[in-house]
Structure 1
């Protein structure tokens, strides 16, 4: 019995050591992949932007191709319409938003100041120096964050030259994806040997469907949120309706965290400009719209196959933000959704 027990213990330790070694190897390979990704970011970032834009513009291209349009003509037409629409957005929305962004930042800071004054009075009577320092740090952080968002909105990247190169390269890649995208999977099958010729194209197709469902779904939900919340702010009489609506739409691409941030800013602006009553009304409007999103719109999107739990989404956004800031927060959920699609395929093959 002692020998048998010793043998079981050795086998258990050997198995644990093997699993630990494999886990460490996976972590090491992940770190290497992230390091390589960072070194190739000047290429990866335009490629990622092109893929995200392609998921938005592929449905009209597919429609035109099904109705007899040549691939190059369909892709060119949709590209021109997309660029004209983007130019209209820049002229009609981004410029006014950029011009009012300092007022927006000042409104957020003033709102935080009013909250601090209210917390210092009865019934809370919070006068601890540490709390005051924390609130001061929050004011400075929010102000800097708003400035960062405005900077990204206006310039896109820290360098104007790099931004132009990234945009041009992304648009060229987008055109080729729209024109030649359907030929990619057959080409990939011809290049791969054996089982890989079946598995990799299937994984790529699932990942593309998942990415497209997420991007188009978030754009749709963000547009609805911006319209309903912007309409509510306009009815209540809150200033800066257009910047707040644009902020709501943009932050919709950062699930959970983005909605909380945009709603917090809107309530603060209402508190500063219109008083407590209108701020509570704005809060009610935002809660109502978010409930409609969570109970009506998001279940429809989930039924289309995204399938990510809210906790996974929150953790992904947090991890992406800590690794790569705003860009990481924007890309975290699409990456998590693609990884979930890959895992789903592997699970189906193993069962």
Structure 2
């Protein structure tokens, strides 16, 4: 006969489950409230986040200058100006080649559409010109009908660009102040917090800063390697816009997994439009080979101490971040996951039982 359930143990288990459920519910409610507050303050939070990411990327240069005896304000000013010059140079490297080769790309797109039309009119599809023309007319009619929404979209786009400019300006000012006064922040914070918080919060923030800096700098170096190797391959194949595509590869490296797929898709598409199917397949093979080299060689070497996140966790974090907040969510997903891991590891350290003292071994008889 199966053993009878103990009423006492069953009641205790139910009470424990109920208590844990209530605790988890409170944690979820507090998390939702915190996210709601962050959303309401996003116009301030987003420039702050961008400034922190830029500061982790540029801090080694500022720290080097400060060790050489430069005043904090002077070092921060020089690094900020250098960053602006580099950003302007990158923008020029993208805009000038694209503008100079825009006509060639337009002709390639037209030729590609014509090839697709010829292919569709032949076997096995056998789509006639009348059907293609009818589909084209329908598409034009829909565009005309949606003219009002198109105007709304343009207005929204102008507003987005304006907000982006404001965010960039605020982020630059904040980056300057972080570079100038950053080392004084934790000592000041320690003096403002009471009791145990004056110890725990600075430790967690220091570890978070180290983790964030490791992530940004390692991603920048990996992105640079990807840009060099993929750009070299595109140049050998003869694909146009090699320099803008290499810069896009570097920038996309800051969005793990998704960024590499996007940059690769753009490179293959331009190769297909400008050079044909054979070169597009060659470019695809080059990108896959470089990405495999990055995942199996570059990142394990560069991120030897890493973030402590499994590849599956990274993929899920990027997917969840993208579904919740689009491109911004994809960009911040991995750093946020890494910071959560830092907090969780510190919490485990504080809640873990102290390791028992090793027992003294009796002396061997002489």
- Return the TM-score normalized by structure 2: 0.79
Query: Which residue of structure 1 lines up, in the alignment, with residue 346 of structure 2?
Result: 345
Query: Which residue of structure 2 lines up, in the alignment, with residue 252 of structure 1?
Result: 253
Query: Which residue of structure 2 lines up, in the alignment, with residue 239 of structure 1?
Result: 240
Which stretch shifts more, 260-269 or 211-220?
Answer: 260-269
SS in 1 for 2:306: coil
SS in 2 for 1:194: coil
Q: 1:54 to 1:85 in 2, by over 3 A?
A: same
Q: 1:249 to 1:57 in 2, by over 3 A?
A: same
Per-residue deviation, 1:157: 8.0
Provide the C-alpha distance between the structure 2 equivalents of 1:28 and 1:270, rounded to a whole number of angstroms.
50
**In the alignment, is residue 71 of structure 1 matched against residue 33 of structure 2?**
no
Query: Which residue of structure 1 lines up, in the alignment, with residue 32 of structure 2?
Result: 31
Kindly report which structure 2 residues correspond to 1:1-351, keeping only aligned pairs within 5 A, or say none.
Answer: 5-97=6-98, 103=105, 158-351=159-352
Per-residue deviation, 1:107: 5.3
SS in 1 for 2:14: helix
Per-residue deviation, 1:42: 0.6
Provide the C-alpha distance between the structure 2 equivalents of 1:205 and 1:109, rounded to a whole number of angstroms.
56
Q: Which has the higher helix share?
A: 1
Per-residue deviation, 1:223: 1.5
Provide the C-alpha distance between the structure 2 equivalents of 1:98 and 1:326, rounded to a whole number of angstroms.
25
Provide the C-alpha distance between the structure 2 equivalents of 1:335 and 1:226, rounded to a whole number of angstroms.
25
Provide the C-alpha distance between the structure 2 equivalents of 1:101 and 1:27, rounded to a whole number of angstroms.
50
Provide the C-alpha distance between the structure 1 equivalents of 2:195 and 2:112, rounded to a whole number of angstroms.
64
Q: 1:227 to 1:109 in 2, by over 3 A?
A: farther
Q: 1:40 to 1:157 in 2, by over 3 A?
A: farther
Q: 1:293 to 1:10 in 2, by over 3 A?
A: same
Q: 1:94 to 1:331 in 2, by over 3 A?
A: farther
SS in 2 for 1:303: coil
Q: 1:200 to 1:92 in 2, by over 3 A?
A: same
Extract unaligned runs of 5+ from structure 1. 128-150
Check conservation: 1:46, 1:166, Cα contact below 8 A: yes
Extract unaligned runs of 5+ from structure 2. 128-152, 353-366
- Return the TM-score normalized by structure 1: 0.82
The count of residues paired between Structure 1 and Structure 2 equals 321
Alignment deviations for residues 67-90 of structure 1 (CA, whole Å, 9 cap, x no partner): 111111111111111112222222
Check conservation: 2:97, 2:241, Cα contact below 8 A: no
Check conservation: 2:46, 2:167, Cα contact below 8 A: yes
Q: 1:75 to 1:257 in 2, by over 3 A?
A: same
Q: 1:307 to 1:4 in 2, by over 3 A?
A: closer
Provide the C-alpha distance between the structure 1 equivalents of 2:17 and 2:110, rounded to a whole number of angstroms.
53
Of structures 1 and 2, the larger Rg is shown by 2
Provide the C-alpha distance between the structure 2 equivalents of 1:89 and 1:61, rounded to a whole number of angstroms.
21
Query: Which residue of structure 1 lines up, in the alignment, with residue 130 of structure 2?
Result: none
Provide the C-alpha distance between the structure 1 equivalents of 2:25 and 2:78, rounded to a whole number of angstroms.
50
Q: 1:80 to 1:32 in 2, by over 3 A?
A: same
Check conservation: 1:213, 1:301, Cα contact below 8 A: no
Aligned-CA RMSD value: 3.3
Q: 1:247 to 1:84 in 2, by over 3 A?
A: closer
Query: Which residue of structure 2 lines up, in the alignment, with residue 137 of structure 1?
Result: none
Q: 1:162 to 1:10 in 2, by over 3 A?
A: same
Q: 1:63 to 1:108 in 2, by over 3 A?
A: farther
Check conservation: 1:100, 1:243, Cα contact below 8 A: no
Check conservation: 1:47, 1:173, Cα contact below 8 A: yes
Per-residue deviation, 1:339: 1.1
